[in-house]
Amino acid sequence: MKTHKDLDIWKESMDLVNKIYIDTRAFPKEEIYGLTSQIRRSAISIPSNIAEGAARNSKKEFVQFLYFALSSLSELETQIIISVNQGYIKEFVYDNKIEMLRRKMLNFIKYIKTQI
């Protein structure tokens, strides 16, 4: 691995961040400091934790940060469900993306753990 930017999970999580930013632009203005801000922070946290973990000195630390990223993905999923329930976005846009990213992250964690 050269850098975190070479990882598919990082690339896919960056695509997810971009999609979230586009879709949250249409959220009501009263949500700018509420759900809009929170959903964006959760999305940003995913590739950020992947990048930080990849820069760590050990694979064990890398796995820890991958779990942080996975937790942020679950947090984002919950916030998307809230957004769907409020009528701000359509769930079907994200269900498949989140589930596929989750599977890839879990598989990558398993792979890294075999190298510890």
pLDDT in tens, 50-92: 999 999 999 999 999 999 999 999 999 999 999 999 999 987 7
pLDDT at 12: 98
The total number of structural domains in the chain stands at 1
Burial 51-78 (b: 16+ CB within 10 A, else e): bbbbeeeeeeebbebbebbbebbebbbe
* pTM, 2 dp: 0.95
Residue 23: pLDDT band (50, 70, 90) is: very high
pLDDT in tens, 76-87: 999 999 999 999
CATH number at residue 71: 1.20.1440.60
| Domain region containing 81 | 4-113
